[in-house]
Amino acid sequence: MKKRTDNFDKFANQKKGSAIKEAFRQEKKKIKAEARAAGEEMRKKKIEKMRGEQEKATSFKPQAASKGKAAGFEPRASSHTGAKKHTSSKQKNTVPEAQAPNLPIQGKTGDEQMPLNKFIAHAGVCGRREAADLVKDGKVTVNGDKVFEPGYKVSSKDKVLVKGKQVFLQRNAVYILLNKPKDYITTASDPQGRKTVLDLVKTATPERVYPVGRLDRNTTGVLILTNDGELAQKLTHPSFEVKKIYEVTLDKPVIKKDLEAILSGITLEDGFVQADAVGYADDKLKNIVGIEIHSGRNRIVRRIFEHLGYDVKGLDRVMFANLTKKNVDRGKWRFLNEKEVRLLKFMNNSFLKKKVTSQ
């Protein structure tokens, strides 16, 4: 058999760029896992040490302590009841809605334990998924120890630092609807110093709020900002399939065949996508199209039309969930009222994707 003299085998067996990247990723993953394990071990030792000191401190109890209140000690149950009464009296004396838009975050007491990423979200830093990424990337410390597990339980008694800055649970929930203009970034801050949506609502509340989901820099329309991490999680999670309606202005008239393709579904580089409804916004102006979609994938509307050969000249979100920008000028904002918040919290079926259920 004639020996091969070409270099094909050498080329075929050469380590490809993707293999090198994968090896690098695995090595990085291994280092992170080792750092996480070391952090957990250190934290366990610290907790054990603290428990030992507490046991020593409580091993001798003065007789006066049994007298409870007389010895300066008040049972937890009675103090909690008092707190409840104080809260209810506050709620009865509410001022008109326009003057007091802040709503209490229900079920969030200072001593309640919750996952670390949820704590960060309720502190108004970002959404829960982004908070989980911050924890995994080692940018969060709890009581001086770096924590890598998003589900690690904490309470308001713990000292939580995100990127070196201490964060605290928000006491009041704030819900803002902004009619986003062009040239604003949908982030809490921008390292390049560009304008962000928070610049537009900085006078709205002393509480720290953040945007729910994202709109591209040149996309306009309805954007929600809040410090309610639980609601933000619901509104952005793919499983809830929250309805969004956009008005799209294109460089040329859209042919009917392409509208049908969008409705039946097309396959993009990251998978299949299908609009819930699509049609001309005006029969005379066929380059302006309305599209209803529930997918939250990045730049999804722009990519749908670009895939079909159109250039998107303007993109405006006219509805998110059940909320529109009616009576809110571009660049302006308003607080959501209690009814709107209630509908969002209970995921009213009117603004979710219609699902066919079998009985």
Catalytic residue among 133, 145, 190, 216: 216
Burial of 317 (0-12, 13-18, 19+ CB in 10 A): buried
CA torsion, points 221, 212, 108, 103, in degrees to nearest 10?
-10
Q: What is the DSSP letter of 3?
A: P
Round to whole Å and give the CA distance between 228 and 171.
Answer: 10
Q: Which residue has the tokens 């993707």?
A: 18
- What sign has the CA pseudo-torsion 160, 162, 166, 172? negative
Find all residues with CB under 8 Å of 182, minimum gap 6, and list them: 217, 218, 219, 220
H or E element that contains 11: helix 8-12
Q: What are phi and psi of 216, to 5 degrees?
A: -55, 160
Cβ–Cβ < 8 Å for 201, 180: no
Round to whole Å and give the CA distance between 23 and 32.
Answer: 14
Cβ–Cβ < 8 Å for 174, 204: yes
Cβ–Cβ < 8 Å for 318, 247: yes
Longest Cα–Cα distance of the chain, Å, equals 101
Burial 3-29 (b: 16+ CB within 10 A, else e): eeeeeeeeeeeeeeeeeeeeeeeeeee
Tokens of 34: 């080792």
Cβ–Cβ < 8 Å for 173, 210: no
Round to whole Å and give the CA distance between 102 and 170.
Answer: 11
Round to whole Å and give the CA distance between 300 and 151.
Answer: 31
Does the annotation count 216 as an active-site position? yes
Active-site annotation, residues: 216
